[in-house]
Amino acid sequence: KFWSIIYEMKDLKWIQYIQQKRHYNWILALFHLMLLDVMMGGMSGHKLAEKIRKEDNHIPIIFLTAKDTENDMLTGFSVGGDDYIVKPFSIKEVIARVKALLKRSNNDISLSLPASLLTFGPLRIDLSLKEVFMHKEKIILTKTEFELLALLASKPESIFSRERIIDKIWKETPYITERTVDVHIARLRKKLGACGIAITNRSGYGYRFNSDAL
């Protein structure tokens, strides 16, 4: 396993990025954890963390600091920090703490990810904004295609028969045949590109979203 580290985004740009609501739901999908130096230039790590938490963003935060008094640590936790590493520290210690915090966050995913955001490898489905991204690139879907993808991806352990899909997606539309479902599935797979492999067909039963394929 490896971690992608983004370190050149300055504090003020972070705030502007978070405060743009059209970008907000990307934050938790793009980043899994933040390491903040308390004594950053321009704005302290404590202040930045406080602003992030005010945006109702629950991304895990670890503070790095040379300040080791009890009051300093309490300040870090009070503004929303999850852990506190005092300088000097070893890289092994940082890695161990990052792993532990990520594990805790994954075990309680409801605290770190909004229920309206589905992520499967490179594929990200925002149920609130009705948007789909693959490798950060937006995929343009029709309303029906999005609803079809959302239906399958919301329950990847389930197989949806064509009749059930019609009832969910085209309930108020008369004269919809099973062939209509097949055509929309084919178009959806094509638009999803490499991720289209996740939509599988079990002969005689129906379609499902195989998250293990991504």
Domain harbouring 43, CATH code: 3.40.50.2300
3 within domain boundaries: no
Q: Are residues 41 and 129 in the same domain?
A: no
Q: Do both 164 and 92 map to the same domain?
A: no
Tokens of 134: 């693959």
- pLDDT given for residue 199 in this prediction: 97
Q: Are 100 and 34 members of one domain?
A: yes
Same domain, 177 and 209: yes
Domain boundary among 58, 84, 112: 112
Q: Write the CB contacts of 197 (distance below 8 Å, at least 6 apart in sequence).
A: 189, 210, 213, 214
pLDDT of res. 210: 94
Residue 152: domain span: 117-213
**Is the residue at 164 inside a domain?**
yes
3-class DSSP assignment, residue 83: strand
Number of H helices, E strands in the chain: 9, 9
> Quick one: pLDDT at residue 112?
40
Q: Give the end of a domain, one of 47, 77, 112.
A: 112
> Residue 45's pLDDT is what?
83
Q: What is the pTM of this model?
A: 0.50
pLDDT reported for residue 106? 63
Residues of the chain with pLDDT under 70: 1-30, 41-42, 55-57, 104-115
Give the model's pLDDT for residue 15: 52
Q: 3-state class of 185 per DSSP?
A: helix
Among 50, 81, 112, the domain-final residue is 112
Number of domains, the chain: 2
The model's pLDDT over 104-126, given as tens digits with 9 standing for 90+, comes to: 666 554 444 445 889 999 999 99
In the prediction, which pLDDT does 194 show?
95
One domain, residues 37 and 19: yes
Together in a domain, 151 and 95: no
Amino acid in the structure at residue 37: D
- The pLDDT, as a whole number, for residue 124 is 93
Residue with tokens 């999005």: 146
User: What is the CATH classification number for the domain harbouring 133?
Assistant: 1.10.10.10
Please indicate, yes or no, if residue 68 is contained in any of the structural domains. Answer: yes
Q: Is 133 part of a structural domain of the chain?
A: yes
Q: Tell me which DSSP letter residue 103 carries.
A: H
Check whether residue 93 and residue 19 sit in a common domain. yes
Closest to 166 in 3D by CA, of 188, 156, 146, 151? 151
- pLDDT recorded at residue 110: 42
Beta bridge partners of 35: 62
